[in-house]
Amino acid sequence: MRNGLTAAGAATMGAGLLAHSSSVFAERGPEEHSGRLTPGDAALLRFAAAAEILETDFWVQYNELGGVQDSEVPGGSGNPAYTAALEVLDSDMAQYIHDNTDDEFTHQNFLNAYLASKGADTVNLEQFRTLPGSSATGSSGKLRLTNLTQLTLDTSWWTRYRSSTHNPDLDPNFKFPQAVPTLAVGQHTAIPRTDDDTKDTNFLQAIANTAGFHFPTIEQGGNSLYPSMAQRATHVEVLRILISIGPTETMHFQTWSDKAGNAPPLTAVDPVTGVSVTFPDLNSPPFGGEDFQTNLIMPEPCPFLSRKLPPCSIIRPTETKGIAMGVVNFLTAMGLFIGQPPAFFELLRDLAEDADEARRGR
């Protein structure tokens, strides 16, 4: 392993750039089956399927506690106190959580079904469903793939999409400031771990605010992942899949970035871990004003491809090289997989390496 490269990959995904992952393990075993797809296309879709399975898992956790409870997304029974704290950000939070969860289910199901329809290997992570999740009222108590209770969030997308002068693809060393600097250090829960977490209203609001920033932090990743991978698709139908799913992640991101801006300013200390978090007033200095007011949820035009060309309103980053491993690093550094065993990380890295090796035409 080339020390530094992988860590840089995680850091820059948050800041908007994916470092080029090194191919550390040269020894090859039997390849996955790609069926009637090219190996590259199958690898791109398999990585997307894995990412969607993981997304589905944590959205289900959010929905069980804070979403609309219905037969479309069954499992939980809702946590009234947490749901109410989320609704401080927007009265439609429960509906949006439900619909985002439903979307991710369809993505994972479609991608695996498409792979199977082409005779290609699919992805199933059920072996790793071992994490305990929340025991608070409303949770189904099922075992989970992802951990929402020890998150470290990079909220620099807030300034990345408001910058008119910096594009992470052109400025790989530029450090976009964090919206909520304290979320970027320490570990924070985005769901009530137990019913005790719902007793202090200030701390419960901090948990809901953390979720409110986790949502766009995640979705902006998908927002970059799909166009980045699409550049290396071979078959036009695979391209169509990637460029049809990707923009739904963008729709999620923009919705959630609007809601995050409504998180009420507060400071709270986690009574279990002692970790402090402060949500600043994002309409006051150093933010706010013409460039940073919270209702600016459409991407500010920025340099694209070359500074010699005029600014353009775009998704960024979309650099394709190393995108999959960058996403694995990004999600791992977020703490989403704390508690998972080495085999889990080995699998994710394997899928990412294959996806990053995909090239148009093979």
Contact 183, 213 (CB under 8 A): yes
Q: State which of positions 129-168 bind another protein (CB under 8 A).
A: 130, 152
Q: State which of positions 186-225 bind another protein (CB under 8 A).
A: none
344 is an interface residue for another protein by CB under 8 A: yes
Residue 280: which of 216, 201, 152, 184 has the closest Cα? 184
123 is an interface residue for another protein by CB under 8 A: yes
Exactly one of 19, 73, 115, 225 binds another protein (CB under 8 A); that residue is 115
Distances (CA, A) of 348 to 39, 47, 95, 119, 128: 17, 8, 31, 21, 12
Kindly state the smallest distance separating residue 185's Cβ from another protein, in Å.
Answer: 9
Kindly state the smallest distance separating residue 241's Cβ from another protein, in Å.
Answer: 18
Other residues' Cβ atoms within 10 Å of the Cβ of residue 304: 18
Using the 8-state DSSP alphabet, how is residue 183 labeled?
G
Determine the 3-state secondary structure of 168 from DSSP. coil
10 is an interface residue for another protein by CB under 8 A: yes
4 is an interface residue for another protein by CB under 8 A: yes
232 is an interface residue for another protein by CB under 8 A: no
CB nearer another protein, residue 90 or residue 350? 350
241 is an interface residue for another protein by CB under 8 A: no
Exactly one of 32, 92, 200, 258 binds another protein (CB under 8 A); that residue is 32
349 is an interface residue for another protein by CB under 8 A: yes
Region from 54-62, 218-226, 269-277, 342-350 binding another protein, contact rule CB under 8 A: 342-350
181 is an interface residue for another protein by CB under 8 A: no
Distance of CA 335 to the CA centre of its chain: 11
127 is an interface residue for another protein by CB under 8 A: yes
Which residues, including other chains, have CB under 8 Å from residue 212's CB and lie 6 or more apart?
A: 86, 89, 93, 256, 259, 260, 262, 263
- Spell 214-229 as b/e; 16+ CB within 10 A means b: bbbbbbbbbbbbbbbb
285 is an interface residue for another protein by CB under 8 A: no
Give the whole-angstrom CA distance, residue 351 versus residue 356: 9
Give the whole-angstrom CA distance, residue 256 versus residue 248: 12
1 is an interface residue for another protein by CB under 8 A: yes
Binding mask 290-329 for another protein (x = CB under 8 A): ---------------------------------------x
Q: H-helix or E-strand containing 176?
A: none
Residues of the shown chain interacting with another protein in the complex, contacts defined by CB under 8 A: 1, 3-4, 6-7, 10, 24-25, 27-33, 46, 115-116, 120-128, 130, 152, 329, 332-333, 335, 338-347, 349-351, 353
